[in-house]
Structure 1
Amino acid sequence: MSKTNHRVQSLDFLKGLVILLMALDHVRDYFHKDVFYFEPTDIEQTHLALFFTRFITHFCAPVFVLLAGTSAFFVQQRMLKFELSQWLVKRGLWLVFVEVIIITFGWRFQLNFDSIVFQVIWLLGISMVFLAVFIHVPKKLMIASSLIVIFGHNSLDGITGGQFSDIWTLLHVQGPILLSEDTVLFNVYPLIPWIFVMPLGYHLGGLYTSAYDAKARRQLLIYIGLAAIGLFFGIRAINIYGNLTFWTTYEDFGKTLMSFFNVSKYPPSLLYLLITLGPSMILLAWAEHFKGKLYTITVLFGKVPMFFYIIHIYYIHLLAVIAAYLTGYDPSLMIVDVWISFETGLQGYGFSLGVVYLVWLFVAVTLYPVCVWYWNYKKTHRHHWWLSYV
Structure 2
Amino acid sequence: MNTTSPYRVASIDVLRGLVMVIMALDHTRDFFHRTAMTADPLNPATTTMMLYFTRWITHFCAPTFVFLSGVSAFLAAQKKTKREASLFLIKRGLWLVVVEVTVITLGLTFNPFFNFVILQVIWAIGWSMVILGLLSWWSWNAVLAAGLLLFFGHNVIDYMKLPAEGPASVMWLMLFTSRGGIVPLNATHLIGAFYAILPWTGIMLLGYCIGRWFTRDFPAEKRRQRLIITGTALIAMFVLLRWINGYGNPVPRKIYPDLWSNVLSFLDTSKYPPSLQFAGMTLGPALLALAAFERLQHAKNSVLAVYGRVPFFYYVLHFYLLHTVLVIAFFVAGYHHGQIAQIPFWFRPADFGYALPGVYLVWAAVVLALYRPCRWFDRYRSTHRQWWLSYL
TM-score where L is the length of structure 1: 0.92
Alignment partner, residue 227 of structure 1: 233
Alignment partner, residue 159 of structure 1: 161
Determine if the alignment matches structure 1 residue 113 to structure 2 residue 114.
yes
CA distance 1:183–1:346, shift in 2 (3 Å): closer
Amino acid in structure 2 at the alignment position of 1:352: A
Q: What 5-or-longer segments of structure 1 have no aligned partner?
A: none
Q: Deviations over 1:301-347 (max 9, x none)?
A: 000000000110000111112222223333774554533xx78x834
d(CA) in 2 for partners of 1:388 and 1:273? 28
d(CA) in 2 for partners of 1:171 and 1:225? 27
2:328 to 322, 340, 344: 322
CA distance 1:336–1:376, shift in 2 (3 Å): farther
SS in 1 for 2:9: helix
Amino acid in structure 2 at the alignment position of 1:271: Q
CA distance 1:105–1:141, shift in 2 (3 Å): closer
Q: Which moved more, 1:95-104 or 1:107-116?
A: 107-116
d(CA) in 2 for partners of 1:313 and 1:328? 23
CA distance 1:181–1:160, shift in 2 (3 Å): farther
Alignment partner, residue 257 of structure 2: 251
1:387 to 374, 386, 389: 389
SS in 2 for 1:193: helix
Determine if the alignment matches structure 1 residue 281 to structure 2 residue 287.
yes
Alignment partner, residue 175 of structure 2: 171
Alignment partner, residue 17 of structure 1: 18
Determine if the alignment matches structure 1 residue 371 to structure 2 residue 370.
no
Shift of 1:124: 1.0
RMSD: 2.3
d(CA) in 2 for partners of 1:93 and 1:136? 16
Residues 30-69 of structure 1: pairs in structure 2 closer than 5 A? 30-69=31-70
SS in 1 for 2:377: helix
Alignment partner, residue 316 of structure 2: 310
Given that 2:120 and 2:193 are in contact with CA atoms closer than 8 Å, whether structure 1 keeps it comes out as: yes
CA distance 1:255–1:122, shift in 2 (3 Å): same
Residues 121-160 of structure 1: pairs in structure 2 closer than 5 A? 121-157=122-158, 159-160=161-162
Amino acid in structure 1 at the alignment position of 2:240: G
Alignment partner, residue 208 of structure 1: 214
Amino acid in structure 2 at the alignment position of 1:104: T
Shift of 1:145: 3.2
SS in 2 for 1:280: helix
CA distance 1:331–1:379, shift in 2 (3 Å): farther
Q: Which moved more, 1:156-165 or 1:21-30?
A: 156-165
Shift of 1:274: 0.6
Amino acid in structure 2 at the alignment position of 1:203: C
Given that 2:151 and 2:199 are in contact with CA atoms closer than 8 Å, whether structure 1 keeps it comes out as: yes
The count of residues paired between Structure 1 and Structure 2 equals 386
CA distance 1:196–1:347, shift in 2 (3 Å): closer
Alignment partner, residue 192 of structure 2: 186
d(CA) in 2 for partners of 1:167 and 1:249? 33
Given that 1:62 and 1:276 are in contact with CA atoms closer than 8 Å, whether structure 2 keeps it comes out as: yes
Q: What 5-or-longer segments of structure 2 have no aligned partner?
A: none
TM-score where L is the length of structure 2: 0.92
Determine if the alignment matches structure 1 residue 352 to structure 2 residue 355.
yes
d(CA) in 2 for partners of 1:45 and 1:257? 15
CA distance 1:326–1:181, shift in 2 (3 Å): closer
CA distance 1:12–1:159, shift in 2 (3 Å): farther
CA distance 1:284–1:335, shift in 2 (3 Å): farther
d(CA) in 1 for partners of 2:121 and 2:308? 17
Given that 1:101 and 1:111 are in contact with CA atoms closer than 8 Å, whether structure 2 keeps it comes out as: no
Q: Deviations over 1:34-75 (max 9, x none)?
A: 112212122221122111211111111111211111111111
d(CA) in 1 for partners of 2:14 and 2:341? 34
Shift of 1:137: 4.0
d(CA) in 1 for partners of 2:278 and 2:62? 11
d(CA) in 2 for partners of 1:323 and 1:149? 43
Shift of 1:12: 0.5
SS in 1 for 2:192: strand
SS in 2 for 1:364: helix
SS in 2 for 1:116: strand
1:264 to 270, 278, 301: 270
Shift of 1:294: 10
d(CA) in 1 for partners of 2:338 and 2:7? 47
Given that 1:116 and 1:186 are in contact with CA atoms closer than 8 Å, whether structure 2 keeps it comes out as: yes
d(CA) in 2 for partners of 1:294 and 1:364? 19
Given that 2:106 and 2:114 are in contact with CA atoms closer than 8 Å, whether structure 1 keeps it comes out as: no
Given that 2:89 and 2:129 are in contact with CA atoms closer than 8 Å, whether structure 1 keeps it comes out as: yes
Identity %: 40
d(CA) in 2 for partners of 1:178 and 1:350? 28
Shift of 1:96: 1.0
d(CA) in 1 for partners of 2:241 and 2:330? 44
CA distance 1:365–1:147, shift in 2 (3 Å): same
